[in-house]
Amino acid sequence: MKAKPFLLSSLALSLALATGSASAGENADTVYVNGQVYTVNTDQAWAEAFAVKDGKFVKLGSSKEIMAFKDADSKVVDLKGQFVMPGFIDAHTHPVRVKMVENVFFNNSTANLEHKTPEEFGKLLQEYAKGRGADKEWIFGKAFSWSYFHNTGVTMDRHYLDKYIPDRPAAIEDEGGHVVVVNTRALELAGITKDTKAAEGGKILLDEKGEPNGHLVAGPAIQQVLKYHPAHRMKDVTEAAVESMKEINAFGITSVKVMEGDREQMQAYHDLDKAGKLTMDVNMHPYINEFYFGKSILPALKEKHKYETERFRVDGVKTFIDSSPFGRAAALHKPYAGSDDYGKLYTPYERFKDEMIMYNGMGLAVTTHTVGDRGMSLVLKAMEESAKVNGIEKVRELRNHIAHCFMVEDQDFARAKNVNATMEFSPGFWTPMPVYEMLAQDMPNGMEDIKNFFPIKKAIAEGNNYVAASDWSQSPLDPLQHIETLTTRRMPGASESEKSMNPDAVIPLENAIRSYTLNAAVSLRLEDKVGSLEKGKKANFQIMSNNLFEVPKNQVHAQYPTKVYYEGKLIAENDRKPVEAS
C-alpha cells in the first residue's frame, strides 16, 4: 500500500491561509498541514492535515479543510510531506525492571547474535561483582544464553557461578527469564538441600549426585531463594520509572501496559502524574505474587484508589499458567520428545481458575503468561468459568489478556474470541534464533512446532483482538524492529535470501501497525482515547523519518520518530535512531 498524499502547492497553501476560520469554539491551537498522515482509522485511513486543540484532535482532512481551524493565535506547522502516524502502544512491558537491571543489577544483553564463551561471560560477572556490584549483598541480574554453554564441556550451574562469585549469594536469569541459576552461597542462605521440595509449580533441579545444581525453574522455585534478596529502595524505583519513560517516549511510545508493579511503582507513577511529568498513559497489571521475589500484591490492590490518577490506572493483575519451553516448563497437549512429560503447570488449574473468577469479580482483568498449547487451553477454560460466575458481558468488557501465545490449537482461537480475550504475541522471539535449535530437540514435533510459534496470522483470520508487544526487558523495546519482523519473520534487516522462521506466517504492514496502535488501545480499554488519529482522541502522534509504506520491508526497523507528541505536546525529538538500553 502506498500513501497518496494530496499536497498543496505553495500557492494553494497561501490561499488556504486566507480562508475563514471555523465556527466559534473550534479554532485550533495548532494546525498541521501538507503531511502523509496514516490514521489507523478504517473510516479515514489517510489524511494530509489535522488540527489540535487542548491536547486533542479537532479534525483530520485536507490542508484546505484544516486551515479553516486557524485563527490569529493558532500555530501552523508545515509537515512538508512527512509521514505521521499514531503514537505506539506497548501492551506488555517491564520498564522499572529494565532500568533497575541497567542501573542497579548485573546486566548482559542476549538480544543480538553476539556469542560469548563461558569464560567471556564469567569475566563479565566477575567485573560487575568487583566494580558496580562491589557493595551489593547479592549479585542478581540478567541474562545468560544457554547457547553460551552448548557443546563447550562447561555446565552453567552453581559450580560455574562459584568460580566467579564465591563470596556472596548470586542469582542470574537465563534469556527467557524463567530459569534462574544460583550459586552455592545462595542455596545455603535459603536452606536449599537435596531434601528440599520445590514449591508447587516450580522445579529445583539436581545433579547426577542428587544435589541441587543451582537451577531454579519457574517463579515458585525462584522465590524460594530470592525472597532472601534485600528489598528495593524507593529512590531506585522512582529513578527507574523516570528514566524508562524517557526511553519509551523516544521510541514513539505514548501508552503502555506495565506487566509488573508493587506499591513503590504505584507511588512513583502517581507522583509523576501529579507533578505534571507523566508523558504516557500507564495501565498497570502487577504480579499477583511478584515473579522473582514473591511479594503479594493484594494489600496494595485493595488501596489502588490512593495511587490512580488521570493517566495512571491499575486495572488488572498478572499471573502464570505455565512458564517456559526451556526446562520443559511449558504445559503441552503432547509429551516432550522421548518422554511421557507433558510439562508442568506454574499454577495448579483449580487455584488459577479461582483467581480468575475472584479478580474478574473485583473488576480487574487478568493477564496470564502462557507458552504451551495446553496452558493456553486451560487459560481459556478459566475465562469461560469466570463468565459463568461473573457474567459473559463483564468478562468480555474486562478483556482478559493472554501473554505470549507461543502455541495455540486451532479451536482455541474461537474460544478466545467468544470471551473477548486479548491475544498477545511476542515478536522479539519469532525470528530464527540459535537457541531454537537446542529447543527443537525437546519439542514433540521438533522444529515444526517452533516454526508455528506465535500464530498471529491465524488470530487475524479468526477475528481475534491481536496485539504485538515487546515484553521489554526480555526483548528489545523498539516497536519498529518488531513491526518489521512481523512482516518478514527474519532477523531485522535480513534480506529475502536469508533464513526466515516460517515465511507463510508473515502479516501485512497494516496489520503489524494496528497490533501496536489501535488493537493495543483496545487491550488497555483506552480505544476511545488513543490508538488512532480521530476527532476527540488524544493528540498522541509521531512524525517519522520516512513513510513506512514506502521503504523496503527490511528497512522498517531502521526508521525512527523525529518528533513524538503526547496530548499535543512535544515529548521527544530525535535526529537519528534512538539507542536502546542493553
What ranges in 202-257 are assigned the alpha helix state H? 219-226, 234-250
Distance in angstroms (rounded) separating the CA atoms of residues 8 and 16: 9
Percent of the chain scoring above 90 in pLDDT: 82
Inter-residue contact 287 to 320 (CB < 8 Å):
no
State the pLDDT at residue 111: 61
Total domains in the chain come to 3
CATH number of the domain where residue 147 is located? 3.10.310.70
Inter-residue contact 297 to 288 (CB < 8 Å):
yes
421 and 529 together in one domain: yes
- Across 501-505, average pLDDT: 93
Residue 248 falls within a domain, yes or no? Answer: yes
Q: Where are the beta strands (DSSP E) in 117-229?
A: 139-144, 170-174, 179-182, 203-206, 212-217
68 and 48 together in one domain: yes
Length of the chain: 582
In the chain, % helix, strand, coil (3-state, to 5) comes to 35, 20, 45
CATH number of the domain where residue 15 is located? 2.30.40.10
State the pLDDT at residue 177: 81
179 and 307 together in one domain: no
Q: Which of 84, 313, 323 is nearest to 199 (CA)?
A: 323
Peptide bond into 241 cis (omega under 30): no
243 and 192 together in one domain: no
State the pLDDT at residue 5: 42
Q: Please report where in the chains the cell 486479548 appears, as a residue.
A: 422
Distance in angstroms (rounded) separating the CA atoms of residues 209 and 316: 44
Question: What digits encode the pLDDT tens for the residues 307-354?
Answer: 999 999 999 999 999 988 887 889 999 999 999 999 989 899 999 999
Q: What's the predicted TM-score (pTM) here?
A: 0.85
Residue 91 falls within a domain, yes or no? Answer: no
Inter-residue contact 565 to 540 (CB < 8 Å):
yes
Domain that holds residue 28: 10-81
222 and 279 together in one domain: no
State the pLDDT at residue 217: 92
Backbone angles phi, psi at 86, to 5 degrees: -65, 155
- Angstrom CA distances, 35 to 211, 377, 431, stand at 66, 46, 34
Which of 184, 210, 226 corresponds to the end of one domain?
226
CATH number of the domain where residue 253 is located? 3.20.20.140
Percent of the chain scoring above 70 in pLDDT: 95
175 and 257 together in one domain: no
State the pLDDT at residue 3: 45
Distance in angstroms (rounded) separating the CA atoms of residues 140 and 222: 12
Task: Say which residues have a Cβ less than 8 Å from residue 227's Cβ, sequence separation at least 6.
Answer: 190, 293, 294
Residue 87 falls within a domain, yes or no? Answer: no
Distance in angstroms (rounded) separating the CA atoms of residues 307 and 294: 22
Distance in angstroms (rounded) separating the CA atoms of residues 475 and 482: 10
Residue 425 falls within a domain, yes or no? Answer: yes
Q: Where are the beta strands (DSSP E) in 187-280?
A: 203-206, 212-217, 253-258
Q: Which of 131, 318, 291 is nearest to 223 (CA)?
A: 291
Question: What digits encode the pLDDT tens for the residues 117-143?
Answer: 999 999 999 999 999 999 999 999 888
Can you tell me whether residue 348 is helix, strand or coil?
A: coil
Residue 100 falls within a domain, yes or no? Answer: no
Report the Cα 209 to chain-centroid distance in Å: 40
Q: What is the mean pLDDT of the chain?
A: 92
Distance in angstroms (rounded) separating the CA atoms of residues 328 and 335: 10
Inter-residue contact 254 to 569 (CB < 8 Å):
no
445 and 298 together in one domain: yes
Question: What digits encode the pLDDT tens for the residues 64-123?
Answer: 999 999 999 999 999 999 999 999 999 999 999 899 888 889 988 776 557 899 999 999
- Across 185-213, average pLDDT: 94
Is the alpha carbon torsion for 239, 242, 245, 247 positive or negative? negative
CB atoms within 10 A of CB 15: 13
The type of residue at 249 is N
Which of 172, 198, 226 corresponds to the end of one domain?
226
Residue 89 falls within a domain, yes or no? Answer: no
